[in-house]
Amino acid sequence: MAKTADQLKRYEFRTQLEGLRGKSGRGTELVSILIPHDKQISDVTSQLRDEYGQAANIKSKTTRLNVQSALDSVMSRLRFVQRAPLNGVAIYCGAIDIGGNKTEMETIIIEPIKQIKSYKYHCSSSFLLEPLEEMLMDTRVYGLLVLDRREATVGLLKGKIVQPLKHMTSSVPGKQRQGGQSAMRFQRLREIAITDFYKRIGEHTSEILIQVEPKELQGILVGGPSPTKEEFVSGEYLHHELQQKIIGKFDVSYTDESGLYELIDRASETMQNVDVMHEKQVMNRFMRELVGEKSLATYGEEHVRRNLEMGAVDTLLFSEDLRMTRLRVRCSSCNTITEVTVRYRLGTDVRDSSLKACSSCGGEMEVLGYVDIVHELTETAENMGSRVEFISTDFEEGAQLMNAFGGIAAILRYSTGI
């Protein structure tokens, strides 16, 4: 279940950052502190004391008091910290604008999913999130090239996103020669034109891929009809360093932008360790089972929950964009207690969600407690021995999970009729 734990940490980290992104202050009074593992806490506290003293010079009384209050709060918490965790720690504190001419002091502490590289202190009207957001980016890159003798397209697969970068067309004549030309002369001219086109493809492709960090470039995939792709690869038209990074040649029908996507699908086995390919395979399996005779798939929170509790779920699927909470609510009139599921917007208090009136007496409902659906159902899945997969919306099938199936689905072990 180590993979599930890592995915859940990533989900929590992403939602924390999204929540912070929606928070703002009225002035430059939100304090962000990023502390790497090797930074002495005593040095951090010393700097914060200096910042506290300098804050006394802020002209606006409200801003001055809010900044000093935030620094006080951070320093009081650091008194109990001897050293930052291995990945470091990020502390965000300040008077958050909650509307209605009101603010609310908040302190959020985040342990990141990767190591914080350098210490940062930042005071502004918004929190400093960029160094942590970069941790969510997949830095792996694949070079993509599809070609035939008429056209070629170069692109990159960066994480889960395909970026078409260059499209080229050739001046290679067709196979039918014009009158007056000998077959031999025509063929020789055609071969020269093909070679020139391959050279141009190689130059443009090399120019694009040589700019990618060598440690990030995982490999280069070449697609096209036979014998074009074989001629190009064996002719070594790419820069010699890039030539060594070709990891596969694949038959594709198209050599325009759509050919890049076809190339990725064809190369799925070669790229099976890349997240996007794994997620596409999971979603393709879900779609097959959904329309299959046995209907070994379901979607929607209620159906998935019931199948999960029965132990019928083989793989539980969550969209990375899913934001749902299970509320435990009580009627203020008849004291009826029940549970409801609501979607929420990050940065808002789920207890403020609009609730339907009590079904028994029509009274007003109040929130007693709540839990994130992802955490709740992941725990149930682990207890039932079900796998959990988080699916990105950066590709078509992943977006379909969120938009067409509500962000939550399951592949079943057996049909339950639910």
pLDDT in tens, 135-188: 988 778 999 999 999 999 999 998 878 999 999 999 877 665 555 567 777 778
User: If you average pLDDT over residues 262-287, what whole number do you get?
Assistant: 85
pLDDT above 70 covers a percentage of the chain that reads: 94
Those residues whose C-beta lies under 8 Å from the C-beta of residue 334, and which sit 6 or more positions away, are: 358, 360, 361, 363
Local confidence band at 322 (pLDDT 50, 70, 90 cut-offs): very high
Local confidence band at 298 (pLDDT 50, 70, 90 cut-offs): very high
DSSP code, position 362: -
Terminal Cα distance for the chain, rounded = 27
**190, 141 in Cβ contact below 8 A?**
no
Angle at 274 between CA 268 and CA 280, to 5 degrees: 55
Residues 321 and 206 occupy one common structural domain: no
Query: Is 11 domain-assigned?
Result: no
User: If you average pLDDT over residues 103-121, what whole number do you get?
Assistant: 95
DSSP code, position 129: -
Count of domains observed in the chain: 3
User: If you average pLDDT over residues 200-225, what whole number do you get?
Assistant: 94
Residue 129 has pLDDT above 90, yes or no: yes
Residue 418 has pLDDT above 90, yes or no: no
Among residues 222, 255, 272, the one where a domain terminates is: 272
Local confidence band at 359 (pLDDT 50, 70, 90 cut-offs): confident
Residue 353 has pLDDT above 90, yes or no: no
* Cα 67 from Cα 95, distance rounded (Å): 8
Among residues 249, 272, 295, the one where a domain terminates is: 272
The mean of the pLDDT values for the chain is 90
Local confidence band at 351 (pLDDT 50, 70, 90 cut-offs): low
**233, 247 in Cβ contact below 8 A?**
no
Q: How much is the pLDDT for 375?
A: 92
Residues 150 and 266 occupy one common structural domain: yes
Query: Is 54 domain-assigned?
Result: yes
User: If you average pLDDT over residues 287-303, what whole number do you get?
Assistant: 94
Local confidence band at 68 (pLDDT 50, 70, 90 cut-offs): very high
Q: Which domain holds residue 199?
A: 141-175+191-272
Query: Is 159 domain-assigned?
Result: yes
The tokens describing 240, both together, are: 């010699």
